[in-house]
Amino acid sequence: MEFIAFTYVGNFVDKEIITDVLFNVFDDANRFFHQNEIPVRFLYIGKLELEPGYLINLNTPEGRIRVYPLEALVEVLYSRLLQEINEKEDIKMNKIFALTTFPLVSRNPYFDFYEKFLGIHEVITGLRIMILSMKPFEVPITPDDSPHERRRKLETFKSRLLKGILHEVGHSFGLEHCNNQCVMHPPTNIEDWDGRIPGYCDECLLKLRAAL
């Protein structure tokens, strides 16, 4: 069995996002792996704490936003993964996956990540760092929403995140983009993503099992 450390970084004003979305989506991912006989599991290692000084202000076409520079996140996650590996010598783990509430940007000009990428991968000394921003998948929730509507929106949000997580995990084991009804098929827009099945096509599933 191979484990992937997972954590999150950012501000959650709504605690329900943590209890009903953040942890449940990783439970759903582990359930998917189990049901499809994929020997991979996510292992929660606690929240990632970053000092406020890491945040930068960035002017974008959508207005001024606060973000963590991608390079800073990668460095901190790499150090955290090394720590976990040293403390958990009895388990196989060389990957870490982080969800962040902030957009992913680098020190280059601002990326329109809604269209250009779902997440970021970096490999440092054989260790893989994966980061996925929750921003592209958010569903606006308003105080006027009924409990039923709020629940529906949270489920949509969780479904989008699950597909994004499975997409990045697929890449981490060598899967390329495909053209089938599959999480490895990049969407052209969020509506396209909502219509994608929450799993791999038969071809990608066989490749994933072979890689493991």
* Residues marked as catalytic: 168
Q: Please give the Cα distance from 137 to 95 (Å, whole number).
A: 23
39, 1 Cβ separation under 8 angstroms: yes
Q: Which residues contact 7 (CB under 8 A, 6 or more apart)?
A: 44, 45, 46, 47, 48, 77, 80, 96, 97, 98, 99
Reading the block at residue 92, the tokens are: 């196989």
* Helices within the chain (DSSP H only): 15-16, 23-35, 70-87, 113-116, 147-172, 190-195, 202-211
Q: Which residues neighbour 108 within 8 Å (Cβ) at sequence distance 6 or greater?
A: none
